[in-house]
Chain A
Amino acid sequence: MQGVRKKKSLGQRIRLDWKKYWRLYLLFLPVFIYFVVFKYAPMAGLVISFEDYKAAKGILGSKFVGMKHFINFFQDPFFTRLLRNTFTIAISTLLFSFPMPILLALLINELRSRKLSRTVQTISYIPHFISTVVVCGIIHDLVSRTGGVTMILHNVFGMPVTNMLYEPNYFVPIYIASDIWSNIGWNSIVYLSALTAIDQELYEAAVVDGANKWHQIINITIPCLLPTIVIMFILKVGKMFDVGYEKIMLLYTPLTYERADVINTYVYRRGFAENVNFSYSTAVGFFNSVVCFVLVFITNKITQRLDGNSLW
């Protein structure tokens, strides 16, 4: 096959390919159309960020204004606030939400009682199946003036009694804590399965060498877990800037915009809610997409260098 291929022209190869695989291409056609229409047409639609888009004139008829909207965004009084908040929430998620499931998996793995370990797993997975809207509804109740969490924080730490959702400084802690509550169990599954794959002989050999539990965790368990952690980390960093804006929208109020407003919530408000401007909103979203893309690209390159663990 390889030797023959050289002699054939491109046209011949295409004809042969089509003759042999036309059924496969036909099968893929609906999927292809789906991707073109709902993934790539929106990318083409990004051109409206360089225009003053008017629905009546359409994408092609609207006036071209170059970088105007991007420059306006960089000079927007909210620009630094949006960037700071997006960054704070993204980094907090990486620092606090990301390690918790790993810790949980290690702790479950060390449990002696199988029954307890089963129960902990079953219970900790439950919150993942509660919808974001409901979780936020529960949060609204728990941190209100008379809510359970407010009361506990008041009685134990002497914090003031107030509706915590109206206090800008409580926003990120509430967001992160509820994120951990929702996902700690679910996200630990992947680490737990990686832990069960570790060769038990490694531990037996370590015990013979006189290693205690602590040595075993540091020298066997964690190194064996590292590839999984790296992969999960890349996935997480890639989505880092896509902070959970749907959840933020369910939790924030104009009172907490100072700490809670992120790029994507701003995209929504400028696109649909206040001072609506499709072109401007698209430009802001474009900026966000580019930052996300660069982040994935860089992390993937770095991890490739490190140990060949790459997604693609």
Chain B
Amino acid sequence: MSNQRTRIKTPVGERIFYVADSLLMIFLCVVILIPLVHVVAGSFSDGMSYMSHQGLLILPLNPTLDAYRAVIANQNIWSGYRNTIFIVVVGTVLDMIFTLVSAYVLSRKGYMLKRFFTIMVVFSMYFSGGMIPFFLVVRNVGLYKSIWSLIIPSLVNVFNLIIMRTAIMGVPDSLEESAQLDGAGHLTILFRIITPLVLPTVAVVTLYYAVSHWNSWFNAMLFIKDRNKYPLQLILREILILSDTDEDFTMSETIQFATIVVATLPVLCIYPFIQKYFVKGVMVGAVKG
């Protein structure tokens, strides 16, 4: 970006700007990281010391692993983890299959109902029946109280579908035509020829679906009544949110922090490996349908 030539004649005003810019960015990083540092430090702190403490922590107070022992002993967290992993893995795989198939069909040309299908799909992005009718439909198809209610009703996200379709439309027709001449069916063309060519987009959309399954708690609150089937986020809600207002759930702050660390660390560990994909992917998304 910068080159030697400009450095020599950089005016004073610009140099001040660069320094200020750098400082501002460093400050931003600190602001973003402080709450996280506080949580980690709190999770290693002694419960009583934290109670009598005010303000932000940088280092643990009277370091101890007590909070983590309590978290590990909490069966709800592990059952929540198990359910969430099931939902994320099975849900994301099914989401991807449905999204790829619908993106493929919508990217084909020549068939009569293409326009109808496209309008049907896009309209559902802008208008919805809302919470209660959705709830009634899920209940009427028999998914109420089942963990599948968190997977099947949200199979296709239209925005992700559009990203996928845009990518597939970018694949040269000639490749598919030659495959068709060889007698390949639609599924073969889609999964053997097209999918490998749009792999970066597949990676990104997979990531979007996985993150949204991981984060979701609202539908689970509506549909899941059995605590053994609660996804992790719903358990976290009890520990982190309801504990502040509802006496049934009272829990010490340090245990709350340890829970946050246990529930967030896996995602942050995967994060560095997927960063390059999503940076690419957002660009794909920005190109739009």
Contact = CB atoms under 8 A, between A and B. Distances in A.
B121 to A, nearest CB: 7
A190 B1 contact: no
Contacts of A250: 237, 241
B8 interface: no
B93 interface: no
A190 B25 contact: no
Contact of A193 (B32, B132, B286): B286
A181 B32 contact: yes
A138 interface: yes
Most buried by A among B2, B55, B129, B253: B129
B146 to A, nearest CB: 15
Interface of B: 1-2, 6, 11, 13-14, 17-18, 21-22, 24-26, 28-29, 31-36, 38-39, 42, 53-57, 98, 101-102, 104-105, 108, 110-113, 117, 120-122, 124, 126-138, 141, 152-156, 185-187, 211, 214-215, 217-218, 222, 233, 236-237, 239-241, 244-245, 253, 256-257, 260, 263-264, 267-268, 271-272, 275, 278-279, 282-283, 285-286, 288-289
Contacts of A126: 32, 36, 268, 271
B11 A134 contact: no
A126 B265 CA distance: 11
Contacts of A60: none
A132 B105 CA distance: 34
A209 interface: no
B55 A138 contact: no
Interface of A: 13-14, 17, 20-21, 23-25, 27-28, 30-32, 34-35, 37-46, 48, 59, 104, 107-108, 110-114, 116, 119-120, 122-127, 129-134, 136-138, 140-142, 144, 146-148, 151-152, 181, 185, 189-190, 193-194, 207, 212-213, 228, 231, 238, 246, 249-250, 253, 264, 267-268, 271-272, 278, 281-282, 285-286, 288-289, 292-293, 296-297, 311-312
Contacts of A281: 131-132
B64 to A, nearest CB: 18
Given A114-B1, A146-B55, A43 B133 contact: yes
Chain A interface SS verdict (over half): helix
Nearest to B113: A25
Given A37-B137, A110-B18, A134 B222 contact: no
B156 A134 contact: no
A105 B239 CA distance: 36
B130 A46 contact: yes
B6 A123 contact: no
B127 A43 contact: yes
Closest 8 pairs (CB-CB, A-B)? A42-B129, A137-B240, A45-B133, A285-B130, A148-B56, A42-B133, A39-B124, A151-B55
